[in-house]
Amino acid sequence: MYKINQRNFFVAGLLLAVLGSVAQAQPIEVDRVFAIVDDDVVLKSEFDERWAQIEQQIAQAPAGQRPPTAEVRKQLLDQLIIEHLQMQMAERAGVRIDDNMLNRAMESIAAQNNLTFDQFRQALDQQGLYESTRAALRDQITLDELQRNAVNRRIEISRQEIENYLRSESGMAEIAPEYHVAHLLIPNKEGESAARHAELATLLHDRVMQGEDIRQIAASQVVGGIAVSGGDLPWGKVETLPTIFRAVVPTLEAGEVSEPFTSPNGYHIVQLLETRGGAVQAQNQSKVRHILIKPNEIRTEAQAEALIKNLYQRIKNGEDFADVARQNTDDAQSMVAGGNLDWIADGMLPPDFMEKVNDTPVGTMTEPFHVSTGWHIIEVLDRRVQDVTEESKRFQAENILRQRKFESELQNWLAEIRDTHYIDIKEPEFAKADKGKDTAAKDAQVDALGDEDDTAED
């Protein structure tokens, strides 16, 4: 059965636009309401724009695999209803995406399609799609932020689950570090001097140690009259590396270069470019306290900004930071501690917040600033490098287990918000199907009650 992928649909539609395959807008009739969704509406024009993109995707499928049009159109309306509900919830919760976060997302999409940001923008500008693409992407990131916050609060990971996972074979394999390696081979060739090969290996090792790119040396193919080879290896865990590298690579730090070593093939030089995952042995941490102010049902964005600026001035005038935080912060977890977040590091809190923390000198309080979570004032009290091997393992395990549960819990949450908000489908094409669904649900409830009555009589 064909099913619209909520989380990937936007990017698919965006790529169609970039490649110039989105159909040119056709003259449309006077707009009308397809559905009322709480305080908002889904319009025919919005539906038609999305449907034009989906039709192109369906048309590319083999004739025998194309889904029923009515079914997919109903799915699309359901998706738009859910999106409108979430956007209203995000607005009430004060979720806001700033330009820096949006630009990073645009750069990421451009890179995925082997384009620079400027090339991507030019491709969109040529079709008059740049501003609409930014607006659509901002909406998508807003939905992702709302879902991440709402769904993660519903997911519980017990300590026992973490311990069981860490002891499992799959857990140990998933948490193992991955390596990005470059290498250089000076191969043995019959008739060539072994001493000359050893001398060249030492020379090339010295050049890499002095900062020359090992991949460029490998790409040159011939050095000093001797053929060389090598280059980048794809990211992989230790067991995916060539056998002769498996004992060497884990002993290197990121950026470190091995001494030349031999195999039956010749001399090898390996450089560990990057690592990711694994149990981090040491971590840069900052001790931070903060005050968070967010818009809500009774406080507008402008009022939130005015309040945080007033609190900042009060602290500058001599009031105690902790007292002001306890009385005013919207962060329930740090409120009792006077805004104290204790020791934090990258990955523990949203990236835009941690970027500000990392840029703030010790003993300094920032002016009010806005990130995805709201308005903040932070003060960095201290910094340290901490051994967090065990904590890191548990943190990674919890994240992996949370990701496994996220999608199913997301679908539960989406179904709940649809069932608990006001939705009135006005378009006859969909109203009948929706009414049928409601009737079926009521019939099921009646049947269930009947079964209970029969059980009681028995």
Name the burial class of residue 425, with classes exposed (0-12), middle (13-18) and buried (19+) by CB atoms within 10 angstroms of its CB: buried
Task: Confirm if 130 and 117 have CB atoms less than 8 A apart.
Answer: no
Task: Confirm if 9 and 136 have CB atoms less than 8 A apart.
Answer: no
* Per-residue model confidence as pLDDT tens for the chain (458 residues): 455 555 444 444 444 444 443 444 445 456 899 999 999 999 999 999 899 989 888 888 888 888 888 999 999 999 999 999 999 999 988 888 888 889 888 998 888 888 888 999 999 999 999 998 999 999 999 999 999 999 999 999 999 999 999 999 888 888 888 899 999 999 887 767 788 888 999 999 999 999 999 999 988 888 888 888 999 999 998 989 999 999 999 999 889 999 999 998 899 999 999 888 765 567 889 999 999 999 988 899 999 999 999 999 999 999 999 999 999 999 998 999 999 999 998 878 888 899 999 999 999 999 999 998 899 999 999 999 987 777 778 888 999 999 999 999 999 999 999 999 999 999 888 876 555 454 444 444 444 444 444 444 44
- Distance between CA atoms of residues 264 and 262, nearest Å: 7
Task: Confirm if 353 and 373 have CB atoms less than 8 A apart.
Answer: yes
- Distance between CA atoms of residues 344 and 337, nearest Å: 15
- Per-residue exposure over 192-212, b if at least 16 CB sit within 10 Å of its own CB, e if not: beeeebeebbeebbebbeeee
Name the CATH architecture for the domain at 177-276: Roll (3.10)
Give 3-state DSSP helix, strand, coil % of the chain, rounded to 5.
55, 20, 25
Interval 261-304: pLDDT, tens: 999 889 999 999 988 876 556 788 999 999 999 998 889 999 99
Tokens 């560990």 locate to: 272
Domain boundaries along the sequence of the chain: 6-152, 177-276, 282-387, 427-457
Fold of 282-387: Chitinase A; domain 3 (3.10.50)
The class (CATH top level) of 6-152 is mainly alpha
| CATH topology match: 177-276 vs 282-387 | yes
